[in-house]
Structure 1
């Protein structure tokens, strides 16, 4: 796990810096800064909207006596996507938007579900049911 974290800490800023240089060369510095701020604002608004929708869906499922498993995974994706949208950068914004946007969210939800089920099978994650 530490190797992956060290790799991400080195790789993500490097890729983001490269993207900023490329975009700034094509659009100019002013438009690049505006684009960065605009994606953060739009992403934040989108995250709020989708987050509220996920909370309403989860509440409705719990009131109906169901366990909101898929909805909770959607909530995790929206939260992680929102965090990525807050980070300045174009690649993190692309990943963040795809995690927040409902049509592309299954790209992340399915691997997350497989990872969680694997961790539950090997005993790394436990849950309690009332």
Structure 2
């Protein structure tokens, strides 16, 4: 069931990205659209590298202090997800990817994700699936 939802989500986002790129290409020109996608990718790669190294240092520092770096590891997951989103061509995925890379917006995404995960853990549906 969850796999089916993910497949539908990936197909829907990909189609919306494609339609948006075609519409933007018709409106401002295809060369400008391609340059925008490439430019966002380059900027995103720079941000992803910087944030990835910074997150890695924070994880390492927490381990050296003897702490479990849960918050830092979650940051690492979102930085990785943001980098993957930027590799995928499309404006929607680029925006989501950049939001995952920017620390301020990542904070809100992490809060939403934790709230959703807590909801799933407390829901009856998840408990029933675990008992099988």
8 Å CA contact 1:84, 1:95 repeated in 2? yes
Distance (whole Å) between structure 2 residues aligned to residue 10 and residue 58 of structure 1: 34
Aligned residues: CA RMSD: 2.0
Size of the alignment, in residue pairs? 124
Unaligned runs of at least 5 residues, structure 1: 125-130
Report the counterpart of residue 53 of structure 2 in structure 1.
52
Distance 2:67 2:101 in 1: 24
The TM-score with structure 1 as length reference comes to: 0.85
Alignment of 1:7-22 (within 5 A): 7-22=8-23
Q: What is the CA–CA distance in structure 1 between the aligned matches of 2:102 and 2:64, rounded to whole Å?
A: 26
**Match for residue 84 of structure 1?**
85
Q: Which runs of 4+ in 1 moved over 2 A?
A: 111-124
- Range moving further from structure 2, 97-106 or 12-21: 12-21
Match in the other structure for 1:110: 111
What CA distance in whole angstroms lies between the structure 1 residues aligned with 2:69 and 2:115? 16
